[in-house]
Each structure stands twice: as structure tokens, then as C-alpha cells.
Structure 1
Amino acid sequence: MLKIYGRANSINVRKVLWAADEIGVEYSREDWGRGFRPVSDAEFAEINPLGLIPAIDDDGFSLSESNTIIRYLAGKHGRADLLPLSPQPRATVERWMDWQATDMNNSWFPAFFALVVKSPLPGGQEVVDASIAKWTANMARVEAQLAATGAHICGADFTLADIGIGLAVHRWFSTPLERPDLSAVSAYYERLSLRPAYIPHGRNGLP
């Protein structure tokens, strides 16, 4: 059986949990990370030498990095609807996955930690304001993409790209800040909420 390591309130662990439920993979989960057993423990080093959550053990095969894990799960279980086999559609999905994990995450990090985690950051309000501006600009990019596709990030169909973006959208709506009206993003949020796996791992009351 698949075993997932990491606390369920981590946005990256939630990617893996959501993907596993979309695919229909049976799994168990063990809490590691902030508020639970520290990933600096020697026991966790045996699970993931890189010292990060999420990590998985799939019948003896160990893997880490959330996007890598969900690509692996989609590939193993033959879910070409989530991660296409054809190079160009696949690259489009992976581009959005990688953008979410880099540019999008980097933009919200200071604002989220200041406004939700309540963790003081060097630079104070100036850093928070800059983060909100970058985050808002990135959400405008998501808005433009969704307005163009009319449904999901890469087109009419749900793919792995929607997992990272869908969690980022929930975080956007869950953070106390002044937001512009992004009608396509709002419609997308409601569309994702019709998916049973989004509720426990995405729109679940956790930011």
C-alpha cells in the first residue's frame, strides 16, 4: 500500500492527498513536519534523505517532491487524462505545475506567513505589500488563462495542473487581504468544489 508522510495541513502534502484520491489509490498517512515529529529526526532521514515533506513509500519505492510524486502516481496508474502521454499536451500541464511551485508560491509566501501564520518577517509591511502585489499579478495570470480556456488551467479537462493551482486559489480566497474581482477564478473555485476530492484536501477550511 502507498504510504504518505507529512502533515495534512501542508499545501504540498495536500497536493499528494488530492491526487491520490482523484486517482483512487488506497493509502495511509503518517504525520511529520511542523507541529508533529520533526523531519530532522534520523528516522525521517531514512524515509527521505532530503528532509522534506511530502514523501512516499510505494511498496518499497521511496520518492519525494510533491509534483514529482503526483506525476509518478498518474503515470503508474495510467491516468493520461491527468498527465497526457503526448509530449506537447504533457509539457503544457507540467509548465503550469512548475510555475505554481515556483513563481506562484514565491509570490504568496511572505503575505501568507504574515497574515495567516502570523509569523513576523524581516522587512515588515513593505515586504508584505510587495508580496500581495506579486501574488495579485500572478492571480491575474490565472484569471486570463481560465478566461481563455473557459474551464480548467490547460483546457476543458481537469489535469494535474489544476491540483497545484486549485490549492493556490483556495489559499488566495482564504487569506485576509483586499482582492480584485476575478470572475473566471471565482467560477473555477466553484467548479473545483464539485469534485469530491477537492473538499477534504482543498476547500476544507484550512488556508
Structure 2
Amino acid sequence: MRPTEPITVWGRADSSNVQAVMWGAAELGLPVNRIDAGHRFGKLDTADYRAMNPHGRVPTLKDGDLVMWESCAILRYLASRYGDGGAFWPADPVARARVDMWAEWAKHEGANHFTYPVFWLSFRTPEAERDARQLAANIARWEQSLDMIEAQLTRHDWLTGPDFTLADIIAGHYLYRWFTLDLPRRPRPVVEGWYALLQDRPAYRQHVMISYDALRA
């Protein structure tokens, strides 16, 4: 199934949540018209935008008459409506549950232990205002999340099995920033191998491996 007209996504290209949606849509081969919004582009406090997304955040998606927000919900919708029921978002409820379990875990771990505690408190905080001790503790906690991913990836190439799935998008979109930030990292050959596989995907390179310099404090 294909959309009858391009899907619209509101959100700046360097928003990690927007990147996850754009990457997923590209993997599904969907036409998307992305409109810059948020951060330096504004628009989130306008009446029109708040009518679509009362939280005033990005991304927001419009597909026909449907308007929705929350990146993981958007990805599940796109995969359910436009996927083929294969490995990416399985039609089988048991197989889908395994993918969804890791996707849900990855979203919470990334949001709670990387995006603000590591990325914001380093790159998006002026150096003079950074709390080095707190940042080190936050990095150590994020490394625990990566321990879980590392253990899972010793069993197979992708997060939930032999095939690329939606869970790899939700977990993997954090990695570009993690591996390019000027921060101490433990060596992780297994996670680094998975990251190399992600970098081989054109949609990852197009939508995730992009500059985030405009976000620097």
C-alpha cells in the first residue's frame, strides 16, 4: 500500500525524534514532505500548530485526514499501514511483540539516559556551566544501556534477530551522536559493528548522519 499523496512531517532535520521518523519512512519507501519547525525555525507556539499538536513539540505527522504526534507512535503507524508484514514490523503478533518490546525499551533508555543526561548536558550546555561529575555519572548510566544492547547483539546482527526491524531504528538513531560527541566511551566492538551496519543503509546516512552543530550551546 502506498499513500495517495506525500505524507507531511513537521520538524527540523536535526531533531533526533524527527530523524527516527524520517529514517523509518525512507526505509518503507514513503514520499514525505518535511517542513522545518522547532528550535531556530519556531512555529511550535502558533495556533495552527497547537491545533495539530497540543504539546508544541516535533515531530507531527499528517497522512490524509490523520494527524498524530509522538515519534514511536508515528513509526508504528507507518509500519502497520505501509509495511508488508515482514520482519521490519511483523504481522505475527508474537514476532511483533519481540520487536515492540525492544523498541519500547530503547525509546525509554535513549530518552531518559542519553538525550538529556548526556547530549544536552554536554553539547547543548556551555562548557563553563557543565557539571563534569554529573556528566560522568550520566555517561556511566548510558553505558549500562549499551551493555544490554551489546549482550543482545552477540546473538545476531540486528537488535531482535537476523533481520533489520523497527527496533533498530528506535535504538540506532541515538548512535550517530553518541559516536561523534567528544566524550569518553568504552570500546564496544559488537555495538560498533552494528553501527557500521546502520551506516551502510542509505536512509540512515541521509536522515541521521547529519550535522547537529546548530544545536551547540
TM-score range, shorter chain: over 0.9
Q: Does 1:101 align with 2:96?
A: no
**5+ residue gaps, structure 2:** 1-5
Selected match of 1:39 from 23, 44, 58: 44
Q: Does 1:147 align with 2:154?
A: yes
1:196 aligns to what?
Answer: 202
Assess if the C-alpha contact under 8 Å between 2:28 and 2:83 holds in 1. no
**5+ residue gaps, structure 1:** none
Q: How much does 1:77 deviate?
A: 1.0
In angstroms, what is the RMSD of aligned CA positions?
1.9
| Aligned residue-pair number | 206
Assess if the C-alpha contact under 8 Å between 1:114 and 1:121 holds in 2. no
Assess if the C-alpha contact under 8 Å between 2:107 and 2:171 holds in 1. no
- Counterpart amino acid of 2:97? A
1:78 aligns to what?
Answer: 83
CA gap of 1:31–1:141, structure 2 versus 1, over 3 A, is: same
| Post-superposition CA distance 1:122-174 (Å, at most 9, x none) | 9822321221110111111111111122x100111000001121111222202
Greater RCO (Cα-Cα under 8 Å, separation 6 or more):
2
Structure 1 segments, 4+ long, off by >4 Å, are 119-123
Selected match of 1:175 from 173, 178, 181: 181
1:133 aligns to what?
Answer: 140
Assess if the C-alpha contact under 8 Å between 2:9 and 2:61 holds in 1. yes
Q: What TM-score, normalized by structure 1, do the two folds share?
A: 0.92
Selected match of 2:19 from 9, 14, 20: 14
Assess if the C-alpha contact under 8 Å between 1:19 and 1:160 holds in 2. yes
- Counterpart amino acid of 2:137? A
CA gap of 1:78–1:113, structure 2 versus 1, over 3 A, is: closer
Secondary structure of 2:67's counterpart equals strand
Q: How does 1:62-77 map to 2 (within 5 A)?
A: 62-77=67-82
